[in-house]
Amino acid sequence: CSSDLVNPSASCCQCHCHDSEDTVSSPVSGTAGVPNTPESAGNSHYHTAEHESMSSDDFLDFSQEATTSTNEKPVSFKSEVAESPKSSPSHSVHSGASSKSDDCGTCKEEVEKEEAEALAKALSVSDRQDPIPVVPGLTPTAREEVITIRIQPDEDCGDNENDSKQPMMYLEKVNWVKGPLLGTGAYSSCYQARDVRTGVIMAVKQISFCRNSAQEQEKVIEAISEEIHMMARLSHPNIVRILGATKQGCHFNMFVEWMPGGSVAYLLGEYGAFTENVLVSYTRQVLRGLAYLHDNHILHRDLKGANLLVDSTGQTLRIGDFGASARLASQATGAGEFQGQLLGTIAFMAPEVLRGESYGRACDVWSVGCVMIEMFTTKPPWNATDVSNHLALIFKIASSIDSPPIPENISPPVRDLMLRCLEQNSEDRPSAKDLLLHPLFTRCFTNNYRSTAV
């Protein structure tokens, strides 16, 4: 509920039991009590059927948009209901309205119930996103409940005895063509790719699973297969979606949706540091995607600018590269089952991970704070670019009792969010879901970013 409910002319509840007959309402698009313009901030609005049809992510965008002065104490939904007058000024003007008055205690219960329902809706996953392209021979068919890794014949295999199996084939240089190299890793390379039949542009991650021993190779194949099936189960506007996968020769081909804007790291290198408007917008989207992953018992473990991808408009961000991700066995937030596994980029890793301690969802929250520093400075935290020795960097982070240096010229609300993410004690870090309710996203600060942020 909005802080603009302090308007003394407003009704004390949402059931309109105290409304005068000459009350004039103006159209709104957002949560209850949120005007479209600062000029209309003096009016009160209530939860309507229009709001019920909104997605959870849209709901978050409109929380607490009313401008408030800095010396006013914050007003919560419940405190405002409790302190509201039991009768509105309209009672003294229109005596007929008094007959509509019900017990305000009942109204308060109804309002609190609506608040709980609205918060649940705001934190639920939104399914509103553009449909994923269909690529014949690659996209899972209606009969396939889970994604199928298409096993392709070796290039030297001339067995074409069963042409009925051809729709299951998705061969390079036949069904798809490899484009320019986008990036490389220790055992993988990422390319732009194009489907020959439909012209769909994709990104393909080619992962080699050839290792020195059969046992090690089997573990790698299992890990890659798990990453593919994990991505296939995910559907969220801030998570990169997988189109399909093939296995041919000694490598997997993982086809994911094409994000033309490139990575956050690429944009920082090309255009310089982001403004706070962009930083806040991207951070909110990272937290949305991260909250969805954590709700599905998934740790990403490698959040950094290189793994955050942007669309052609520069407005939508998706989390990608789940090569270091892992499944959690429990829903609980806090220390998890993992211990001593060094996965991810060192400069963005939480101290408890580098110390070999148990860790859980809080390690991803720490990485969000590190990404915020990267977006504001164009450099990884801890001045990592100046440390050539990885062991020295690990020791520096693991032994530190403070958070990485925070830029001095950053605004107080953004600084506060960073520090919350970068709490040394993992148990003191809020969850991604809780951070979405930070005043930076839900209260008066939102107006400062509305003009250019998503």
Looking at the annotation, which residues are catalytic? 302
Distance (Å, rounded) from C-alpha 399 to C-alpha 1? 43
At residue 151, φ and ψ (nearest 5 deg) are -85, 115
Nearest to 149 by CA among 119, 170, 177: 170
C-beta of residue 278 within 8 angstroms of C-beta of residue 452: yes
8 Å CB contact between 230 and 239:
no
Q: What is the Cβ-side half-sphere exposure of residue 101, based on CA atoms within 13 angstroms?
A: 21
Which residues contact residue 406 at a Cβ distance below 8 angstroms, ignoring those fewer than 6 apart?
Answer: 373, 415, 418, 419, 422
At CB < 8 A and 24+ separation, what contacts does 389-398 make? Answer: 390/346, 393/346, 393/347, 394/346, 394/354, 397/346, 397/347, 397/349, 397/351, 397/354, 398/351, 398/354, 398/355
> No. of H helices and E strands in the chain?
15, 13
Dig out the tokens for 385 from the structure. Answer: 């670019």
Q: From CA 80, how far away is CA 437, in angstroms rounded?
A: 18
Contact 422, 364 (CB under 8 A): no
Q: Residue 78, annotated ligand binder?
A: no
- H or E element that contains 270: helix 264-271
**Cβ-count burial of 15 within 10 angstroms (0-12 exposed, 13-18 middle, 19+ buried)?**
middle
CA 349-351-354 angle, to 5 degrees, is 75
Comparing CA positions, the residue from 17, 24, 43 lying closest to residue 97 is: 17
In 66-175, which ranges are E strands?
149-151
Rounded to whole angstroms, the Cα distance separating 335 from 328 reads: 11
What Cα–Cα distance (Å) separates residue 306 from each residue in 128, 270, 310, 348?
25, 13, 11, 11
Known binding residues for ATP are 205
